[in-house]
Chain A
């Protein structure tokens, strides 16, 4: 096996969408400490991860803090795992941490890349592509490549960018690294260091049986896993059958600008999910949850299937600018349950007809802006009543029938009034066209239609044979 492991040192903060000068705190009993580095404290000093809150406050009195949210971390890590699906499988997302004060979680996603190297043109090209993909996520990440997940993670954390491709090279590559890179309890690490075993070469040289007796069976077991001599258990990430992602806001938000970042995050997760499942979607649903009252539900519709984060984001933004939330928002939920398979030809078709793709993107934007009923194609309907002989066809339905129904030879005007308008008796001297129909659906029409001059226009009028009155229904030109 060959694993690419991504280590995300600031995920605890990134998952909450916070700026780099905010501190995220771990808690154990009464202890509080920084779980990620904080940039730009007092006098621009960096506060390192692991610093106690008291110490951090003494150095940077204005420091703002938030409690850690393991659930949000897990969601963000899973989304990143989905994004990495295209590079191989299995994909493993894990948070390595000890339940003890001042523990620093390690957020990692590993993907087995052995089978996909040739697809991406080699290990370097693949690595580069992974890092390029991650640019969109705007997160700190370090990549390591090695035959075991643990070793790949250690290389990543140590900043060792040169891949280690063969298991037999592992001891030599790992030798100079400190044991603090191993995800062991602080007590174990301290005990090992106290007898001079603070670097991996010393640990490799020590008799394994002695290590087992003095420090517990995990130590030799983990070393074997590290060197790819023993299988590493894992639970592969499988994208669930329906998509649901949420983003909790810090406090209540009532302006659209502040919602854009979480929206971007959610659409990015959606795109990663679609890509991991190799499907596309045409609908999704955004829910804006408020402190009081029912959530605001925003159904979204594309005109063709897509799995591009940007396209979903555009229409969401358009929609929210058009109809800003009427109440402050607490939480955003994005969900989707209907998916379509990706067909190769579809993607190719879009690339060929760039213009039609632009057209489509615009129509989606206009739908988001004005609402779906405001964009339509005029269509013919099979009914003799003039007001029912046409339809406004939604753009999301297939093209309506093209041909005029047979036997519909009588001339028709170019304009129709939304409602027939009562008029006085006009000077009608042409032969009427009689329309008598609709008795079956309770909207019966018995009318005589005429083309007349009405003021300065050529009008389509009828006399209602039931009440004898005249109505204007259309204009010819």
Chain B
């Protein structure tokens, strides 16, 4: 058998796709999953939510647009038969709305926890047990809790999406990506506060949608 250089072995492909391996000749590639919002993806290195990383979504209050922001990602992952989880959502994730948005409900799990520390712990465990994306609401997350969540995402290859209040914007965060969702003239707009590359950060907010 001849080894073809054009197609790397699957183990290598997997490593490259997980974003944990950098290739020498290229600029470091950031593995990402498209957010499904075209204007936002254009601003993000890798073109979407960073894989194997923690992303933070800051918003003034529940229902500002933060779930609409994550919806295309949830739809794509669950349709590819990957498991996603909501940990400690502030309201009921409404099955009819999720299903209309393309989310496969049989790949969607909700976990209600007694406190933010338990929420972060559960999210960590869910990532390590192979959930592709874990959405966790934990406003009062400790710095240590955030680092552990980031580490769990890194080591599992999954995506951690942490939802917190906009008031946390000034606090330091180990997240690879920080987004802020606000409403302007009645529609949600998302602003990139921090990314791993330089692209997009600090630019003016963009609208959600295709």
B105 near A: Cβ within 8 Å?
A: yes
Which residues of chain B (41-90) have a CB below 8 Å from chain A? 60-68, 71, 83
A366 to B85, CA, bound (A): 13
CB pair A404–B91 under 8 Å, yes or no, is no
Of A379, A411, A412, A417, the contact of B105 (CB 8 Å cutoff) = A379
Known: A370-B111, A416-B92. A380 touches B61 (CB 8 A): no
- Tell me if A's interface is mostly helix, strand, loop or mixed: mixed
Of B94, B100, B114, B186, the contact of A415 (CB 8 Å cutoff) = B94
CB pair A414–B131 under 8 Å, yes or no, is no
A408 near B: Cβ within 8 Å?
A: yes
Which residues of chain B (92-139) have a CB below 8 Å from chain A? 92-101, 104-106, 108-114, 118, 122, 125-126, 128-131
CB pair B130–A412 under 8 Å, yes or no, is no
Known: A456-B60, A477-B188. A414 touches B106 (CB 8 A): no
CB pair B112–A374 under 8 Å, yes or no, is yes
- Determine the chain B residues whose CB is within 8 A of the CB of A418 once the complex forms: 91-92
A391 to B92, CA, bound (A): 10
- Tell me if B's interface is mostly helix, strand, loop or mixed: mixed
CB pair A417–B91 under 8 Å, yes or no, is yes
- Determine the chain B residues whose CB is within 8 A of the CB of A414 once the complex forms: 67-68, 71, 93-94, 97-98, 101
CB pair A358–B96 under 8 Å, yes or no, is no
A392 near B: Cβ within 8 Å?
A: yes
Of B63, B68, B96, B109, the contact of A412 (CB 8 Å cutoff) = B96
Interface size class of A (residues with CB under 8 A): 35 or more
A366 to B128, CA, bound (A): 14
- Determine the chain A residues whose CB is within 8 A of the CB of B108 once the complex forms: 377-378
Closest chain A residue to B114, Cβ basis:
A370
CB pair B105–A404 under 8 Å, yes or no, is no
A390 to B106, CA, bound (A): 13
- Determine the chain B residues whose CB is within 8 A of the CB of A416 once the complex forms: 91-92, 94, 97
Residues of A within 8 A of B (CB): 355-356, 358-359, 361-363, 365-366, 369-370, 374-381, 386, 389-392, 395, 399-400, 402, 404, 408, 411-418, 453, 456-459, 474-477
Contacts beyond the supplied A375-B109, A415-B93: 14 A-B pairs with Cβ under 8 Å: A362-B125, A362-B128, A370-B114, A374-B113, A378-B94, A390-B96, A391-B95, A400-B106, A411-B97, A413-B97, A414-B93, A415-B67, A418-B92, A477-B66
Residues of B within 8 A of A (CB): 60-68, 71, 83, 91-101, 104-106, 108-114, 118, 122, 125-126, 128-131, 182-183, 186, 188
